[in-house]
Amino acid sequence: MSDNKQYSKEHIDFVKKHNRRKKIILFTQLIILIAIIAYWQLAASFGIMDTFMTSYPSAIIKLMIRLFNQGSLINHICISLLENIAGFTIGTILGILIAIGLWTSSFASKVLDPYLVVFNSLPKTALAPIIILWVGAGYTGIIVTAISISIIVTIMNVYNAFIQVDENIIKMLYTFGASKYQVFKLAVFPSSIPSIINCLKINIGLSWVGVIVGEFLVSKGGIGYLIVYGSQVFKMDLVMLSVIILAILASLMYKFVSIIEKRFITKK
């Protein structure tokens, strides 16, 4: 029996309509992107835009090819990417572990709650110079800056997800003699997975903010370094190239997390 015979005609039509809609959305997104790039290039060519301030696509592509052939572009991308992965991974794991600790101990959560709120309200990017001064310049300072920006958001979001789990389910498990570890394993953590995945998506952007700010201050390599160097010598093609690469890398990481989310939901 074929797979199509297992489903009703209405279901097959719905799936086809859904897939068609996805293709139309993707096509529209590509058209918008192409239109923006084309307008940017034409506006620069006809003098509508000041190329000194905005550069233009063909110049950016030429610069990208030249830096790629020299090998320096890959080096800068790898530096920033490794710093981001380290900050993102450590910040997320530490944040989740601390959130678990706060859920386990109501005393600790009540004591630390005002401190978490205050620390979350502080502009972490403004504290980056202090963090780097304490930790040290170089890769360590940049990674710690990325961690400091993402960890508090992780703690607060994940902990709020933990405490919002249905109380009736928790009470039922306790009634059957479950321990706190079993309650967390069977009810709290599984129910909070969607919130944790959303937190991962948020942390991608926050980690990149920390990495770029750190590279602005102390790095001699990376995407943030290219942006600072390009702005200092008024090479806007280098600045725009760096921003475009940053956007692509952040989008790819976000897409990777989305793929994990879809596969998890499908398996469930």
Per residue in 97-136, pLDDT tens? 999 999 988 888 888 888 888 888 877 777 788 888 888 7
Say what percent of the chain tops pLDDT 70: 96
Tokens of 100: 């678990």
Q: Give me the pLDDT at residue 93, please.
A: 93
Taking CA atoms, 82 is separated from 76, 78, 226, 230, 249, in Å, by 10, 6, 16, 22, 12
Q: Give me the pLDDT at residue 194, please.
A: 85
Q: Give me the pLDDT at residue 112, please.
A: 86
User: Cβ of 249: how many Cβ atoms within 10 Å?
Assistant: 17
| Averaged confidence pLDDT in the chain | 85
Tokens of 82: 């490794």
Taking CA atoms, 132 is separated from 61, 83, 211, 216, 225, in Å, by 34, 14, 12, 12, 16
| 140 pLDDT higher than 70 | yes
Taking CA atoms, 46 is separated from 42, 63, 114, 141, 149, in Å, by 6, 21, 57, 45, 43
Per the CB < 8 A criterion, the answer to whether 226 and 240 are in contact is: no
Taking CA atoms, 250 is separated from 207, 208, 225, 262, in Å, by 10, 8, 17, 18
| 9 pLDDT higher than 80 | no
Q: Give me the pLDDT at residue 2, please.
A: 46
In angstroms, the CA 183 to CA 178 distance is 6
Say what percent of the chain tops pLDDT 90: 20
What lies within 8 Å, CB to CB, of 237 at 6+ separation is: 55, 56, 59, 60, 63, 230
Q: Give me the pLDDT at residue 6, please.
A: 67
In angstroms, the CA 176 to CA 76 distance is 56
- 3 state DSSP class of 247: helix
What lies within 8 Å, CB to CB, of 178 at 6+ separation is: 186
- H-run or E-run covering 3: none
User: Which residue, 166, 169, 127, 124, is CA-closest to 149?
Assistant: 124
Task: Compare 172 and 268 and report the one with higher pLDDT.
Answer: 172
| 245 pLDDT higher than 70 | yes
Q: Give me the pLDDT at residue 127, please.
A: 78
7 falls in which pLDDT band (50, 70, 90)? low
pTM of the shown model: 0.81
Per the CB < 8 A criterion, the answer to whether 129 and 137 are in contact is: no
